[in-house]
Amino acid sequence: MASIGQIVNPTPGSDALARARQRASLVPDCLVEAKRIANTVIAGWHGRRKRGIGENFWQFRPYTEGESLSRIDWRRSARDDHTYVREREWEAAHTIWLWADMSPSMMYKSTFGSVSKESRALVIMLALAEILARSGERIGCPGVMEPIAARNAAERLATALMHAPLPGGLPEIAMIRGWSDLVLIGDFLDDAPAIMARLTPLARRGLRGHVVEIADPAEELFPYTGRTEFTDPETGSRLVSGRAENIREAYSRAYVARRDGLGQSLRHLGWTFVTHRTDHLASEALVAVHMYLSGMPAKATHGGLL
């Protein structure tokens, strides 16, 4: 039978980033959703709303005897018989670490997917950087770029990646401190216990994690029939099946069990888990991660939120 998928050639760092940014600009729905989110959120929107120093109005509250009269909002107080104080919202930049796995398995693209898993991961990573930077957050990439708060953080991240391409696997975690967020993007096809062994210490240190699993449609649907040769992109080992359709049911059970098990383990840590297929719009994953970062429950879509 004709080949359903192939391993695309790894692209040099600068070309991969240029391709990812170009592809993001060609996805109208993704850009529209990103601009809408960036224009409606305010600084400190990651569940950190509280009164304090800032420019944004937060709430009115009754005046307490002994407070400075300069804090009274006389216009609001004139509406009834009570005296009110105008409180402003505390604005503080939050630190978000972004990471995209560039393992060999991420280079896969089937005829059912619009892009490779590598390309989609980079698009989501850079789009998140742009959205978060526009909201005043501090953006970093483990081992590549220290957290910075700048409007051009996405461009600076891209430049850093040109000189220090992302390696495969999970990132080094020594520089990551607690009380920040970590967004991991990859296919997470490695052994689940090994993945959790790397992530559990981060959760115990107070880090909030958000995992985005990127999947090619062929990995879920297993559309293979007849004599089929499978190649492991990580080790190069090969497996030949005389009638691939005979193992479809067993494969599907194993695939779903792996995903469900990983999702349950992550939720046990208090982390979030989003699944995304490359034949769906990148904006679906962006919206889901944005809502989780904002502390809001994400609604399930055909993008596959867990």
pLDDT at residue 74, rounded to an integer = 80
Point out which residues pair with 22 in neighbouring strands. Answer: none
C-alpha 229/C-alpha 113 separation (Å) is: 20
CA–chain centroid gap for 154, Å, is 14
In order of start, what are the domains of the chain with their CATH numbers? 32-47+92-294 (3.40.50.410), 55-90 (no CATH)
pLDDT at residue 276, rounded to an integer = 95
Asked if 87 contacts 60 with a C-beta cutoff of 8 angstroms, the reply is yes
Mean pLDDT of the chain: 76
Q: Residues 15-31: pLDDT tens digits?
A: 555 554 444 443 334 33
Asked if 209 contacts 202 with a C-beta cutoff of 8 angstroms, the reply is yes
Q: Closest by alpha carbon to 273, among 201, 225, 208?
A: 208
Q: Residues 20-73: pLDDT tens digits?
A: 444 444 333 433 444 444 444 333 344 444 443 344 555 677 776 666 777 788
Q: Closest by alpha carbon to 215, among 293, 96, 114?
A: 114
Average confidence (pLDDT) over 222-251:
87
C-alpha 196/C-alpha 108 separation (Å) is: 24
Q: Residues 207-217: pLDDT tens digits?
A: 889 999 999 99
Provide the 3-class DSSP secondary structure of residue 276: strand
Q: Residues 180-201: pLDDT tens digits?
A: 899 999 999 988 898 999 889 8
Asked if 114 contacts 279 with a C-beta cutoff of 8 angstroms, the reply is yes
